[in-house]
Amino acid sequence: MLTSASTPIKSVAVVGAGLMGRRIAGVMARGGFRTVLTDANAEILPAALSDAQAMCSDVVELSTSADIADAVSGVDLVIEAIVENLEIKREVFKIMRASNAEAILATNSSVIPITAIASELADTSNCVGMHWWNPPDLIPIVEVIRGEGTSDAAMDLCFEALTRAGKLPVRVERDVPGFVGNRLQHALWREAIDLVASGVCDAETVDLVVRNTIGLRLAEMGPIENADYVGLDLTLAIHEQVLPSINSDPFPSAHLSELVAAGNLGAKSGSGFLEWPVGSREAAAARLSAHVSSQLSAQHHTD
């Protein structure tokens, strides 16, 4: 267990052995951390362990436990990677803290504020957000989010551990829903959906335009740098013309709600904004993985 702010994290428990949790466990084990993976559904643990071990070229300290209390006891860091449900996360946080009074408790929530998840604990100084992006073994960024009670020591220890694991951690100093990446991503998605719903263009056109314009340059030049690059006077002039007509609804699109109510959930159901014939979801996943890998490889060659 951690004994002081200067003691580095050496052992990790990952709670939740789904597609995210097992890969997070693999990354941490590969990074040299003694890692244990647990899940409420013990039947998936053998396959999860196999998947995590496949990410590690060397012999690593990676195991599973069907008992969450046993998995969490004695480790320095616990990473929760379960269903995105506030009440369930709160209950799991209470179980984790009861099983380990000193460990840093991290949640992989992608949108729920950390303060809300840890709100029923007496002391939240060792509670942080640790948002990994899918696939977590490929996407470099991990957002480390400060809740209202999070200590500097907890932030620093997580930042250092993730760096040691080969990730690119970033500090999110205010606990807002969606943090940084998902706020940016879903602001784009809201406008994309509105363009389709309002008849400006079809769904295929939205994706075609994004992939072949801003998508080509975002990996190299982020929006803030791009604003400076083109000139803030031009950025201001464009905003004055465009922002008044951009969708600013504080609620989900009615068109999106209608699709979900009709059971048109996208790739998982075969139809959403687009049609998803059998095998197309797997093909899209493979295409995305290959693209991310090639981008990262290109970055490494130019570093």
Angle between helices 181-197 and 254-261 (to 10 degrees): 90
- Residues forming the active site: 110, 131, 143, 182
Instruction: Please state, rounded to an integer, the average pLDDT across all residues of the chain.
Output: 95
pLDDT of 302 > 90? The answer is: no
pLDDT digits (tens, 9 = 90+) for 220-246: 999 999 999 999 999 999 999 999 999
Q: Tell me, what's the pLDDT at 289?
A: 87
Residues 278, 233 share a domain:
no
Contact of 120 with 90, CB cutoff 8 Å: yes
Number of domains forming the structure of the chain: 3
156 burial type by CB count under 10 A (0-12 exposed, 13-18 middle, 19+ buried): middle
Residues 20, 157 share a domain:
yes
In order, the DSSP letters of 102-137 are SSEEEE--SSS-HHHHTTTSS--TTEEEEEEPSSTT
pTM metric for this prediction = 0.92
Residues 270, 227 share a domain:
no
Q: What percent of the chain has pLDDT over 90?
A: 90
Residues 229, 128 share a domain:
no
Is 25 within the bounds of a domain?
yes
Q: Tell me, what's the pLDDT at 297?
A: 79
Look up the domain containing 278 and give its range.
Answer: 263-303
pLDDT digits (tens, 9 = 90+) for 24-51: 999 999 999 999 999 999 999 999 999 9
pLDDT of 3 > 50? The answer is: no
Contact of 141 with 108, CB cutoff 8 Å: no
Contact of 120 with 93, CB cutoff 8 Å: yes
Residues 188, 156 share a domain:
no
